[in-house]
Amino acid sequence: MKPRKAETHYTVLNVRSDCSTQDIRNAFVELSKQYHPDVKTNAACSERTARFVQISEAYRTLIKPQSRRDYDDSLIWLPNGSERSPVVEHSDPSQPWNVRPNYDPSPGPYYGIRGLKRVSNWQVALVLIAFGIVGAFFGFTSVKHSFDLHRQVQDEVSADATIHHAAVVAEAQKYGNEEQMRRMADRLARNPYNQSAK
């Protein structure tokens, strides 16, 4: 005797794994009419109650898109090979059972800008590398220019200091020590503080 294959929520409700939410609702209504404990039949009451509990659990799981996705992920297999059930939540109350495909056959602009087509990853990488090279070049150029400008200013200051030093040395050599002492004495004599001290 073959071991019985474990039932999934889909087999409990007798629906396909890629069915719509409306199919799940319809299946639940039909099975409730057969297995609800209040329905009078000749079958054993405990078996009917157990089966109705299974049906209710399957319905509660599959009717909500998020719990259905989680349940599909918990299964060993996925519907349609590797695709997930095409059930989406809808906010439009006028069309609550509209099942949409997993892709948009006519998407809008990829980047949100009309006329700008989608580019591949390697093209984006090349553009970024080009921007990096240009940025590195401008950074190196600006640092070099700043360094050259700073060195030029320092050279000008150094040249001015050298000229002033040479003028001071030339004046000191032109007038000997005696002349320097006489000039200092004249300056001290003209100082009003020295005169008041006398």
- pLDDT at residue number 132: 95
Q: Answer with the residue of higher pLDDT: 23 or 117.
A: 23
d(CA 73, CA 81): 13
SS3 label, residue 174: helix
Question: Is 110 within the bounds of a domain?
Answer: no
SS3 label, residue 14: coil
- pLDDT at residue number 134: 95
Residue 125 burial (CB count, 10 A)? 10
Question: Is 23 within the bounds of a domain?
Answer: yes
Interval 92-115: pLDDT, tens: 555 544 545 455 555 555 656 666
- pLDDT at residue number 28: 93
Structure tokens at 152: 């030029």
Structure tokens at 92: 């439009």
DSSP assignments along 60-78, one per residue: HHHHSHHHHHHHHHHSSSB
Place of tokens 């996705």: 69
Question: Is 112 within the bounds of a domain?
Answer: no
Structure tokens at 135: 């940025």
Q: Answer with the residue of higher pLDDT: 80 or 69.
A: 69
- pLDDT at residue number 18: 87
Interval 139-158: pLDDT, tens: 999 999 988 888 988 989 88
Range with lowest mean pLDDT among 16-25, 69-78, 92-101, 130-139: 92-101
pLDDT of residue 76 exceeding 70: no
Question: Is 162 within the bounds of a domain?
Answer: no
- The helix (run of H) or strand (run of E) holding residue 28 is helix 21-35
Query: Is residue 41 very low, low, confident or very high in pLDDT (cuts 50, 70, 90)?
Result: low
Question: Is 189 within the bounds of a domain?
Answer: no
> 78 forms bridges with which residues in the sheet?
81
Question: Is 73 within the bounds of a domain?
Answer: yes
| The total number of structural domains that make up the chain | 1
Residue 99, Cβ density class (10 Å: 0-12 exposed, 13-18 middle, ≥19 buried): middle
Instruction: Report the CATH number at residue 50.
Output: 1.10.287.110
- pLDDT at residue number 143: 92
d(CA 35, CA 37): 6
Q: Please, what's the b/e burial string for 59-97 (b: 16 or more CB within 10 A of its CB; e: otherwise)?
A: bebbeeeeebeebbeeeeeebeeeeebebeeeeeeeeee
d(CA 49, CA 39): 11
CB 15 within 8 A of CB 27: yes
- pLDDT at residue number 109: 58
Query: Is residue 5 very low, low, confident or very high in pLDDT (cuts 50, 70, 90)?
Result: low
- pLDDT at residue number 194: 58
Question: Is 58 within the bounds of a domain?
Answer: yes
Question: Is 20 within the bounds of a domain?
Answer: yes
Give the domain extent around 21. Answer: 9-77
Q: What is the mean pLDDT of the chain?
A: 76
- pLDDT at residue number 32: 86
Mean pLDDT computed over 155-162: 89
Residue 36 burial (CB count, 10 A)? 14
Place of tokens 């990829």: 110
Structure tokens at 9: 């929520």
